[in-house]
Structure 1
Amino acid sequence: MQEDFPLRKIIHVDMDAFYASVEQLDNPDLRGKPIAVGGSSQRGVVAAASYEARKFGVHSAMSSVFAKRNCPDLVFVKARFDRYREISKQVREIFYEFTDLVEPLSLDEAYLDVTENKQENPSATKIARLIRRRIKEETGLNASAGISINKFIAKVASDINKPNGQKTIDPEDVLPFLEQLEIRKFHGVGKVTADKMYRLGIFTGKDLKKKSLETLTENFGKNGRYYYDVVRGIHMSEVKAHRIPKSVGAERTFNENLSSEIFMLERLEHISKEIERRLKKSGIAGKTVTLKIKYSDFSLNTRSKTLPDFIDAKEMILETARQLLYQEELQNSVRLLGISLSNLNTGDEDKPPQKSVSVQLRFGL
């Protein structure tokens, strides 16, 4: 039995190489050059890379050492988050001229539901074009956009014509588009998941669609339902004007690798204090503490513990992190430590799986 579901007009706006573009905007000497925001040639991690740097394989979350190795002419620029927040606020104000249903994902991207909008414009495609033009006029920066019937497809579409472009996936094109899409381009499919799918013979959406729900849940757990639905154009998540956080965390990269647990505990105390500050500010607490350890060889290890009660105090966070630190013997010297608190008391419990439904092709974008 087929059931209708509300088709929305969703826009995903993504600023192009935002941090790096802001630096090139403010400093003309950096324009046209490969730049990396954050880190340094000796230490740290790249927060963002300009398109000139991306041609050399430089990308966010890459070690600064590796980035410099890939691009010897790479220029490192210190991050200026106050400036990024200032421009992000300008961009968000533009969004609100068109709709109040704005769900920011970060400083540089957001979902907008323009099914009903303040401009009374029936075309989401035209609205996206107007928004991108206004962003360029007011900030001097470029943005790309994806437009479709739900958040998942809009997010995927926004990458297609980057930089400074947009892509609309009309209702009648959703299923053919998803079938031909490479599996690694599905939002939510990372490298590890993609490799696992390759081993199962899943290379495109069409391959994914051939797999039964049972097969997908057997291999991917609760994410199996997600993969089963999205390849059929089903994604029921609404644009939420106020996002509920899934976790609260903080981490630190050290100037020198640490090999002593005593020094690590000192750093973890500072991190716990920062998390406590964020929790108190938001008025939330959590049950699951996760310790993140990145070693000097860049290998990553995470350890978690779920407590019987919600916590928000530095002392409890630190004590749990201490237990996790001593849970296993360290494999090497440590370059980064992080703590996150999840399983929050935000009331955002997992919703039951949605029934399978079919895309009804009666909706112009």
Structure 2
Amino acid sequence: MHPEAANSEAPLRKIVHVDMDAFYASVEQRDNAALRGRPVVVAWKGLRSVVCAASYEARRFGIRSAMPAVRAERLCPDAVFVPPDFTRYKAVSLAVREIFARHTDAIEPLSLDEAYLDVTENRTGLPTATRVAMCIRQQIQDELNLTASAGVAPNKFLAKIASDWRKPNGLFVIQPHQVHGFLRDLPIGRIPGVGKVTEQHLNARGVKTMGDVQALEMTELEARFGRFSMRLYALARGIDHSPVVANRVRKQVSAEDTFPEDVPLYETEHAIRRLAEKVWKASHANARGARTVVLKLKTKEFTSLTRSVTPAEMPRSAEALADCAMAMFDRVGLEPTQLFRLAGVGLSNFQSDEEPPLFPATE
């Protein structure tokens, strides 16, 4: 079916994307009055640490998430570094989720600090999705003393763009009749999956904005961009039929750790056993089992290696999980003198909820 035809036949939906503002840093500032108004960086200090979050005061200095902490410290020597407290952040995230649930069951969390909500029908009887978004933001402010930005649109793709439009503490609405004009001047890089390299490739071909794509016929797009053409055609016109999926199945549970100093492979055992314990506890928060054990390593030269195994019988304890991960050492295939900066352990290939678990949860 042609994308435009599919769009005309699809029922109109009301989607809200809620994104907490500088979530981890905002929680720290809320709970510690001495941090308010100051540049706060949520990160462990150290040569290997990366920034988990930065307050808006810190962002003015160019500090961003995933940036090396040492660089953040150079950009803003007066920044206050706070070690992350994920237990507390998860508790606040659950409180936010409870507010969402007052309005709809159709909630698709993307992370601790953002989620999609389908409010085509809502529990509170509010007449518009905009009113629902306003109410949610007010409840978060009143009950949790935090701010959230929200985007309201006919689909997930547009709602996510809209939530970023008036950050922080903003609300932006894209009505169905505004979609084409709103998208026209947006950079092509706003399409999910279009990274910097792909964007440069498209720009070199004269495609810099959504409007440039809108001006091309489907046949021309197919000739120039192949299988990516359908996605370009649809999203440049604001067409996105992907549903809000509540209780999305996790594809992987994992944990990783960056070492203070580079170490040889045999010295990663202590870290792997600790990571296996974390993964084991996290994976048993639900009743599903995993089929595959994953070992992740990163060399001192920043080369990432992943090894996995799907054993006939899955490990039945955290210790056995660690043993399974370390059994893959022989498959790393590097010299014994090779040093590593990071190790990770994961479980993947989870069963669907309908399948019986491969191994039971333990006490």
State whether residues 310 and 345 of structure 1, in contact with CA within 8 Å, keep that contact through their aligned partners in structure 2: no
The residue that corresponds to 1:338 in the other structure is: 344
Asked if 1:45 corresponds to 2:54, the answer is no
Deviates more, 1:85-94 or 1:282-291: 282-291
Number of aligned residue pairs: give it: 341
Alignment RMSD: 2.9
**In the TM superposition, what is the alpha-carbon distance from 1:265 to its structure 2 partner?**
4.0
The residue that corresponds to 2:86 in the other structure is: 81
Unaligned segments of structure 1, at least 5 residues:
349-365
Deviates more, 1:155-164 or 1:88-97: 88-97
Cα distance in 1 for residues equivalent to 2:279 and 2:175: 43
State whether residues 182 and 205 of structure 1, in contact with CA within 8 Å, keep that contact through their aligned partners in structure 2: yes
Asked if 1:275 corresponds to 2:284, the answer is no
Q: One-letter code of the match for 2:283?
A: L
Which of these residues, 181, 189, 194, is aligned with residue 199 of structure 2?
194
Q: One-letter code of the match for 2:98?
A: E
Which of these residues, 320, 325, 339, is aligned with residue 318 of structure 1?
325
Cα distance in 2 for residues equivalent to 1:214 and 1:306: 40
Asked if 1:204 corresponds to 2:213, the answer is no
Q: One-letter code of the match for 1:73?
A: D
Q: From the superposition, tell whether residues 83 and 281 of structure 1 become closer, same or farther in structure 2 (CA, over 3 Å).
A: closer
Larger Rg: 2
Q: From the superposition, tell whether residues 279 and 28 of structure 1 become closer, same or farther in structure 2 (CA, over 3 Å).
A: closer
Unaligned segments of structure 2, at least 5 residues:
355-363
Asked if 1:133 corresponds to 2:142, the answer is no
State whether residues 135 and 141 of structure 1, in contact with CA within 8 Å, keep that contact through their aligned partners in structure 2: yes
Asked if 1:69 corresponds to 2:67, the answer is no
SS of residue matched to 2:253: strand
The residue that corresponds to 1:151 in the other structure is: 156
Cα distance in 1 for residues equivalent to 2:349 and 2:64: 30
TM-score, structure 2 normalization: 0.83
Cα distance in 1 for residues equivalent to 2:127 and 2:13: 12
Q: From the superposition, tell whether residues 25 and 281 of structure 1 become closer, same or farther in structure 2 (CA, over 3 Å).
A: closer
**In the TM superposition, what is the alpha-carbon distance from 1:193 to its structure 2 partner?**
3.6
**In the TM superposition, what is the alpha-carbon distance from 1:35 to its structure 2 partner?**
1.0
Which of these residues, 256, 259, 265, is aligned with residue 254 of structure 1?
259
**In the TM superposition, what is the alpha-carbon distance from 1:11 to its structure 2 partner?**
0.3
TM-score, structure 1 normalization: 0.82
SS of residue matched to 1:212: helix
**In the TM superposition, what is the alpha-carbon distance from 1:316 to its structure 2 partner?**
7.4
**In the TM superposition, what is the alpha-carbon distance from 1:154 to its structure 2 partner?**
0.5
Structure 1 stretches of 4+ moved >4 Å: 285-291, 304-313, 328-332
SS of residue matched to 2:100: helix
The residue that corresponds to 1:352 in the other structure is: none
State whether residues 265 and 340 of structure 2, in contact with CA within 8 Å, keep that contact through their aligned partners in structure 1: no
For 1:303-357, what per-residue CA distance to the aligned partner results, in whole angstroms no more than 9, with x for missing partners?
Answer: 3557486856616751564245x23459964322223444433379xxxxxxxxx
Asked if 1:301 corresponds to 2:310, the answer is no
The residue that corresponds to 1:26 in the other structure is: 31
Cα distance in 2 for residues equivalent to 1:239 and 1:249: 24
Cα distance in 2 for residues equivalent to 1:202 and 1:289: 42
Which of these residues, 215, 234, 240, is aligned with residue 235 of structure 1?
240
State whether residues 272 and 322 of structure 2, in contact with CA within 8 Å, keep that contact through their aligned partners in structure 1: no
Q: Identity of aligned pairs, percent?
A: 43
**In the TM superposition, what is the alpha-carbon distance from 1:13 to its structure 2 partner?**
0.5
Cα distance in 2 for residues equivalent to 1:94 and 1:240: 18
State whether residues 276 and 312 of structure 1, in contact with CA within 8 Å, keep that contact through their aligned partners in structure 2: no
SS of residue matched to 1:282: coil
State whether residues 288 and 353 of structure 2, in contact with CA within 8 Å, keep that contact through their aligned partners in structure 1: no
